[in-house]
Amino acid sequence: MITKDKAIIIGAGIAGLASAIRLSVMGYQVTVFEKNSYLGGKLSQFKKDGYSFDAGPSLFTQPSLIEELFELANEPIADYFQYSPQPISCKYFYEDGTILNAYTDTNLFAKELEDKLGEDGNKLKEYLAQSANTYNEIGSIFLNYSLHKLSTLFKAPIKRALKAVKSAFLFNTLHQVNTASFSKPQTVQLFNRYATFNGSNPYKAPGMLSLIPHLDNNIGTFYPKGGMISITNALYKLAKKKGVKFNLECPVSSIITEEGIAKGVIVNGYKEYASVIVSNMDVYFTYKKLLNDETKARSILRQERSSSAFIFYWGINGSFPELELHNIFFAEYYAAEFKSLFKTKALHDDPTVYVNITSKCEPGLHAPLGKENWFVMVNAPANTGQDWKDYQAKYRAAIIKKLNRLLKTDIESLIETEEVLTPLTIESKTASYMGSLYGTSSNGKMAAFFRHPNFTKSIDRLYFVGGSVHPGGGIPLCLQSAKIMCGLVAEDIKTNG
């Protein structure tokens, strides 16, 4: 028998946790079923040989989205979660020897570009001002409303957004926009990098993605005390405080539907009923495995999948004062790297390397004193059957070669412990089809509109959240997907009862 005020959430990723909090505040009795023995999905942590590693997302922006959940729940965030702003969003290393600090203070960043590259600092200020305007006037609609509901036309400030749209954002690629905005190739490469924030190709993704730098460079980057896992822990504690029930190691095997209405789920052979069903599972697997709808699952594959990643977790016996929390070692031939990622889907022999070191912010907590925990990531193509064992060895060698060259050291001799995450293990652990980190890519002018909505017209009372659906992947967008979903639930209740 269906309980009218009961909601079931499939998956305890960041979007699932946020959904649980929001639905509980709306008055639902919320139950979460998670297949893994841990919470957070990609946003998890593990420990090895005295080192702690955040397993997935490593960049924290828009803390206001976390604060909003605590305000909504009427709970003091300081009792659960603390964070601090970072003066440098990222440190960049180029093959020509240039080393650049991307300061979160625009004036300092502009001076850095002038001093290191000879870039006109006013170009940066103009770019970031436009990025802020695009985000506030256009991005706010994309991030706060469903793009697939007629009602959005009456609720969202559409007219204001249309006035802010520039033709370049629609008809030019991000690379073209950046090339027109800056005079130095290093600056162009730096801002091209933001396409990777949703697993896309800057040489194909629309110029509209130039709104993303607003988050890093205008709002700023932050460090959550305790590491990224503290976000998961805080939301879990808040959800528990609001009465949410969690069931770990309980994979959902199917969604129960009757006459086009979602009625419940089957877990461990038992039927659990509810009036609202929310899937935080990759939408492809939701259709294929939980709804047994091969036709719909295949239709989702018409959209290009986002990139995946190879991540090496290294315990480093030593410290590098020249490195920051976030560091990027750029490929010399950036366009060739993206051709490998999305066209040939093969390994690129000189990948861009990202190194995150949380022990920089809390010495002694994530690594023994005098040592560092390195989260080392390179973009990788989505899984189409490549020989990942062979790729792992080649990626590792390429990364070490690059770091040795640019840091003038012998990294391999300092690695005390190592773990590896591949596209295959990303798929198996997080149910992300083909190991894609962000579901589908944005490699097209209309890609945002083709992303699966947070609901389905074919099944009432079934909703979707997480990186594989609108508005996309990454912590901020996953949190926004929960907000959009709950708005749809409230709208459906108002309309249908």
Residues 125, 194, single domain; the answer is yes
CATH number at residue 78: 3.50.50.60
DSSP calls for 219-276: I-EEEETT-THHHHHHHHHHHHHTT-EEETT--EEEEEEETTEEEEEEETTEEEE-SE
Residues 195, 249, single domain; the answer is no
pLDDT tens-digit series, residues 182-228: 999 999 999 999 999 989 999 999 988 999 999 999 999 999 999 99
From 249, 238, 271, select the one nearest 24 (Cα to Cα).
238
Residues 173, 209, single domain; the answer is yes
Q: Output the six-digit token pair for 109.
A: 């960043």
Place of tokens 């528990």: 240
Last residue of a domain, one of 164, 184, 217: 217
Three-state SS at 402:
helix
CA 417 – CA 48 distance, rounded (Å): 7
Last residue of a domain, one of 196, 217, 238: 217
CA dist list (Å): 196 to 172, 257, 354, 379: 17, 37, 12, 8
pLDDT at residue 1 above 50? no
CA 485 – CA 232 distance, rounded (Å): 20
- Whether residue 418 is contained in a domain is answered as no
- Whether residue 213 is contained in a domain is answered as yes
Domain total in the chain: 2
Residues 76, 128, single domain; the answer is no
pLDDT tens-digit series, residues 47-80: 999 999 999 999 999 999 999 999 999 999 999 9
- Whether residue 98 is contained in a domain is answered as no
Q: Using an 8 Å Cβ cutoff, are 332 and 324 in contact? A: no
User: Which residues form the domain of 171?
Assistant: 121-217
- Whether residue 365 is contained in a domain is answered as no
CA 194 – CA 201 distance, rounded (Å): 9
Residues 125, 204, single domain; the answer is yes
pLDDT tens-digit series, residues 341-367: 999 999 899 999 999 999 999 999 999
Residues 237, 213, single domain; the answer is no
Residues 241, 168, single domain; the answer is no
- Whether residue 323 is contained in a domain is answered as no
Last residue of a domain, one of 217, 245, 275: 217
- Whether residue 48 is contained in a domain is answered as no
pLDDT at residue 392 above 60? yes
Residues 249, 200, single domain; the answer is no
Q: Which residues have a Cβ under 8 Å from the Cβ of 135 and sit 6 or more positions away? A: 211, 214, 215
Q: Output the six-digit token pair for 236.
A: 């879990």
pLDDT at residue 335 above 60? yes
Residues 67, 136, single domain; the answer is no
pLDDT at residue 431 above 90? no
pLDDT number for residue 2: 45
- Whether residue 341 is contained in a domain is answered as no
Residues 178, 253, single domain; the answer is no
Residues 248, 267, single domain; the answer is yes
- Whether residue 320 is contained in a domain is answered as no
Q: Which range among 18-22, 271-275, 432-436 shows the weakest confidence by mean pLDDT?
A: 432-436
pLDDT number for residue 98: 97
Residues 67, 35, single domain; the answer is yes
Q: Which of the pair, 73 or 433, is modelled with greater confidence?
A: 73
- Give pTM, 2 decimals: 0.94
